[in-house]
């Protein structure tokens, strides 16, 4: 069976400890991971790299998670998204149904919960690159 390249994930989180923890969990599970400390840095990374998945916080300085999704939508960039946040911005997401989110994960979470959500969202991507 030929080795498949790992899925490429961008983790956006303004809390350095949580960002490193998420990146470590994903890297140890075989994913290729880049990180960004806020939505503005993430947007720059999204301009130059093709990611399979975006794991983003919502409450961040400069550009929030929802603002980042709005930028992606305007730029016609399609990427699967998991929003990981202490408070999911349900009203904002409901008022912008075109902001597509694959899943949400409420903080605090366990490594098992994170990996389960990533695995649930990723299968939709698996057949797309063949």
Q: How confident is the model at residue 93 (pLDDT cuts 50, 70, 90)?
A: confident
Topology given in CATH for the domain delimited by 8-109: Rossmann fold (3.40.50)
> When comparing pLDDT for 4 and 67, which is higher?
67
Structure-block tokens of residue 59: 């409450």
pLDDT in tens, 12-56: 999 999 999 999 999 999 999 999 999 999 999 999 999 999 999
- Domain boundaries defined on the chain: 8-109
* Residue-level pLDDT at 122: 82
The pTM (predicted TM-score) of the whole model is 0.90
Residues sharing a CB contact under 8 Å with residue 77, sequence separation 6 or more, in sequence order: 46
Average pLDDT, the chain: 90
Whether the predicted pLDDT of 125 surpasses 60: no
Cβ-contact 49, 24 below 8 angstroms: no
Termini Cα distance of the chain: 14
* Residue-level pLDDT at 128: 43
């Amino acid at each position: 069976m030929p080795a498949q390249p790992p899925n490429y994930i961008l983790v956006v989180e303004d809390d350095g400890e949580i960002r490193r923890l998420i990146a470590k969990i994903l890297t140890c599970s075989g994913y290729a991971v880049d990180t960004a400390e806020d939505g503005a840095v993430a947007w720059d990374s999204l301009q130059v790299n093709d990611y399979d998945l975006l794991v983003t916080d919502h409450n961040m300085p400069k550009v929030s998670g929802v603002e980042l999704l709005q930028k992606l939508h305007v730029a016609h960039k399609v990427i699967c998204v998991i929003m990981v946040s202490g408070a999911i911005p349900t009203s904002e997401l409901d008022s912008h149904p075109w902001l597509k989110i694959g899943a949400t994960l409420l903080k605090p979470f366990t490594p098992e919960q994170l990996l389960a959500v990533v695995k649930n969202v990723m299968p939709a991507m698996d057949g797309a690159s063949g």
